[in-house]
Amino acid sequence: MKVVVSEEITRGAEALLSDHEVFKAQFGTEEFFNRIKDADALVVRTYTNVNKKLLDKALRLKYVVRCGVGLENIDVVACESRGVKVVNAPGSNADSVAEHIVMMMLASMRNLVNSHNHVKGMGWERQKFVGKELKGKTVGLVGFGAIGRAVAGRLRGFGVDVLAYDVFMDEQKAKELSAKPVELNELLRSSDMISIHVPLLDSTRHMVNEEFIRMMKDGAVIVNTSRGAIVDEDALISRLRDGKLSFAALDVFENEPPVGSKLFELDNVLLTPHVAGVTVESFERMCSEPISTMLGDAGED
């Protein structure tokens, strides 16, 4: 096969393609559009926009491989209408995201970042940074797919009560992971900490809004590693300022990077640059798994 790779992939993924004709060409360049004309497969990550315009130029294309979990940058319907198979790596970063979430939960409860900065600034006001234990708290998981379940599994050793809400709840999985399925309203009223694990859809855009936060417990913590637009940042900032929420830990933002965000003015936030799902191990899985799937499918043809 002739394969065009528009963004960086791992060495392991490159090795899988070693028996094929591979061209590295950055998306948007003249070379990219020249190479894509007679390519059999296109391997992308985040910044290559696979739309109708691109597909009109890729007349021989049979596969679009997304080295990642989501398909936001790929027009799946347009691909299917042209007989182009789309392959991605669902669940490949669940372990990495789950570990990041638990880290954020613990850092939030212990005010880790502010404590760290205080000591680096030659401070030693220990009473100022007395935190809380995660043990004995109630954690609500909004969304109980691969990542939500991975978080629930990791929380089992912390002595917390886990509540879970999902439109398509797998009650058997919840039982296995000691998570209690509940309706969203009950989860909001009962949880000391809430972690968001839902996809960005029209129905979930600004799901975490003023009404959502108003139903939460006073002093609760919110963690979001899913998609930035699920949270109404203006509402979040307002309730962090007035103390309704005690802390927010965010890996994703409405605008990325969040240049000039009012979040930067707050001390009760922990912010990371959309890296929850990106580890050495998960990146290898995200690249190698869908390429292996494509090659297996091509072999069957």
What confidence tens digit (pLDDT) does each residue in 111-157 have?
A: 999 999 999 999 999 999 999 999 999 999 999 999 999 999 999 99
Domains and CATH numbers, the chain: 2-90+280-300 (3.40.50.720), 94-271 (3.40.50.720)
Sheet-wide strand order for 2-5: 21-24, 2-5, 41-44, 63-66, 85-87
**Residue 234, helix vs strand vs coil:** helix
Does residue 300 carry a pLDDT above 80?
no
Q: What are the tens digits of pLDDT across the range 70-93?
A: 898 999 999 999 999 999 999 999
pTM: 0.89
Cα Rg of the chain, angstroms: 22
**DSSP letter (8 states) at residue 254:** S
Asked about 227 being catalytic, the answer comes back as yes
Q: How far apart are CA 61 and CA 273, in angstroms?
A: 34
Count Cβ atoms within 10 A of the Cβ of residue 120 and give its class: 0-12 exposed, 13-18 middle, 19 or more buried: exposed
Catalytic residue from among 45, 227, 239, 285: 227
226: left (phi over 0), alpha (psi -120 to 50) or beta: alpha
Q: Is 256 designated active site?
A: yes
Q: Catalytic residue at 233?
A: no
pLDDT at 117: 96
Q: If DSSP codes are grouped into helix, strand and coil, which group holds residue 250?
A: strand
Bridge partner list, 63: 41, 85
Name the active-site residue from 118, 205, 206, 274: 274
pLDDT tens digits for 225-248? 999 999 999 999 999 999 999 999
- The count of other CB atoms within 10 Å of the CB of residue 289 is 20
pLDDT on residue 299 = 84
Catalytic residue among 8, 133, 211, 256: 256
